Chain A
């Protein structure tokens, strides 16, 4: 059992000792799963891939040139650095799916964060994983029971992975080459192992919280609303103290076995001590003491699910953290999204299912949601920027402990480890030009961007430790899925379509409710997608298939001609899906993909079909940087400890390169090729 308080360098040294012992045929207490794989020349074959979401090549180059990223710079000087061409569009689920398949969206079927089913017109769902409702049930009293056994064959609700095609690890798995992935985006629910037990994966981006959302915080304050109110990413409630004690209720997962599903709840008792500037939170049999400004550790939550007849109630476990933000004059308590408990997961979040529990048995409790940095709390004014940075730092520290675990348990084969920090922190803190920030002062901009730079330096140091340990003994790849750019101006695609006469009526506020489909030839949904309202495809389609070609040409010309009030080009390029995607998985592709110029992105409202009066507006959100622009504006990074032969490598080249390192041929399902000579 690894001691929890070893430094990373100690862990890496210990791993070296274990590996050496294994090679010498000696047993050790940390154990080797099997003998390390060796090539024909006797070398152990290892490929380590560090995924650093959103790491940007322009910033990386500037910092390397300034001597601020010495370890990455050393790789560059050895010929191991290139910008990495990203996906169209450069959104994380699209990009990581392309990495997984070694092929583009036509192979994996993910084109945006948001898709729609054409038979449902524009009703959206999360592209990478879709939750399907139950089918069939028996009503027993207040409950609705599914019996998924023959011949009744009811189907309980469930989530289905929508990423299609063959992931690259399947080819490794077939040959008995182990692969282990930590926090892998776009693999929830985790792909089952096909050929044996050589593949392990802890699901990352796309993993929901216990409410089935992508992260819903709960906020309790004396000045909160009288009735609990919902906002994007959170819930707000009022606390009323009586003699320094207040009651609150944490909202948990819905009990879907009820005919009318109701959320479960956990009662909290909060005792305030103004003199001590502290509070005690009572829940279950536990008392959590916090001073103002203090975070709790992860706390287990036990949700009771009532069952019909005399069956025992079900129980599901979640975990959360509390931040006591203020005791006086206005008591404020933040509760993190309720994460799936890694020690007792309510749903499967790893492959094999027990993998996450193995990790938890050593590391204890840790965040399991796909999006762990609570940017919504910052956007909605629950967090100050300092509180967001502190929370995000906590996420990074937890990830680094997971990395220690990953390294300590790595023998050979492929190891993939993912960092979200450079993406989710950059969304809130990045601003890299002298252009005036829409809401922040120059000093605030400098402070925020300074934090991003320090983050890059921290990750450079992590890479340095990995290289020090594995250089000459493993191929190490450090990659990102896309880069970053300011998001200063927002473009409402649906409003533009309205103003150009493609969408009606003129007073439409959202395509989800008051659009007139008989007047609408095209609509926007998702961050980069435009759909023709095509007859025989869309439920309420009106455009004749014979007119689609002309309409697309007209839209491309019109969009690429859009200019901002200062003459800036808003849209760098518009792509036709039928010209850039190939493969069997194009059924849900938008017709056009809008590639915004640097500094621009789709507006907040238009992504889920909302319209605004103006077409172009400042972005005054705390989320002031993004990457959902044209792919050419935001390439990612590629570093390696091996010289790179490819001059302009792409995301889809990484998987073929990994296979080639193990002497495997590039399968015909892949579009890329090896980046190494």
Chain B
């Protein structure tokens, strides 16, 4: 499994929020927010691709 470095200040914030939100560990919390952000970016990419396909319709530039 890959490792990511974060600075101490960010780690402290992650730990605090993970505990308050009820995550079993900081790792679980970080994994969850990365997955959410990835899904958002991938959905945005799908949406942009859908818009580009629509440009092939003659009615639209």
Contact = CB atoms under 8 A, between A and B. Distances in A.
Interface of A: 91, 113-114, 120, 123-126, 131, 133, 212-216, 230, 232-233, 371, 375-376, 379, 424, 427, 512, 527, 604-605, 607-608, 610, 621, 623, 626, 628
9 tightest A-B contacts by CB?
Answer: A604-B61, A123-B47, A232-B55, A214-B56, A213-B56, A607-B60, A233-B56, A213-B53, A375-B58
Interface in B30-61: 42-43, 46-47, 50-61
B58 A608 contact: no
B55 A233 contact: yes
Contact of B51 (A124, A214, A215, A621): A124
A124 B58 contact: no
Given A214-B56, A215-B56, A216-B56, A124 B61 contact: no
Contact of B54 (A114, A371, A621): A114
A126 B51 contact: no
A626 B56 contact: no
B8 to A, nearest CB: 33
A371 B56 CA distance: 10
A443 to B, nearest CB: 25
Contacts, number: 70
B60 A133 contact: no
Contact of B60 (A113, A123, A131): A113
Contacts of A527: 59-60
Given A216-B56, A527-B59, A608-B61, 19 more contacts: A91-B59, A113-B54, A114-B54, A120-B47, A123-B50, A125-B54, A126-B50, A212-B53, A214-B53, A232-B61, A371-B57, A371-B58, A376-B58, A427-B58, A604-B61, A607-B59, A607-B61, A608-B60, A623-B58
A256 to B, nearest CB: 12
Interface of B: 42-43, 46-47, 50-61
B59 A608 contact: no
Contact of A605 (B57, B59, B61): B61
A232 B59 contact: no
Contacts of B61: 232, 604-605, 607-608, 610, 621
Which one of B50, B60, B61 has the greatest number of beta carbons of chain A within 10 Å?
B60
Contacts of A626: 59
A370 B43 CA distance: 26
Nearest to A370: B57
Which one of B46, B55, B58, B61 has the greatest number of beta carbons of chain A within 10 Å?
B58
Contacts of B55: 232-233, 608
Contacts of B60: 113-114, 232, 527, 604, 607-608
Contacts of B54: 113-114, 124-126, 214, 608
A125 B57 contact: no
15 contacts: A120-B47, A123-B51, A124-B51, A124-B54, A126-B57, A133-B46, A213-B53, A215-B56, A216-B56, A233-B58, A375-B58, A424-B58, A604-B60, A621-B61, A623-B58
Contacts of B51: 123-124, 512, 608
B50 to A, nearest CB: 5
Contacts of A230: 52
Which one of A114, A512, A623 has the greatest number of beta carbons of chain B within 10 Å?
A114
A259 to B, nearest CB: 12
Contact of B57 (A113, A212, A512): A113
Which one of B43, B46, B53 has the greatest number of beta carbons of chain A within 10 Å?
B53
Nearest to B50: A125
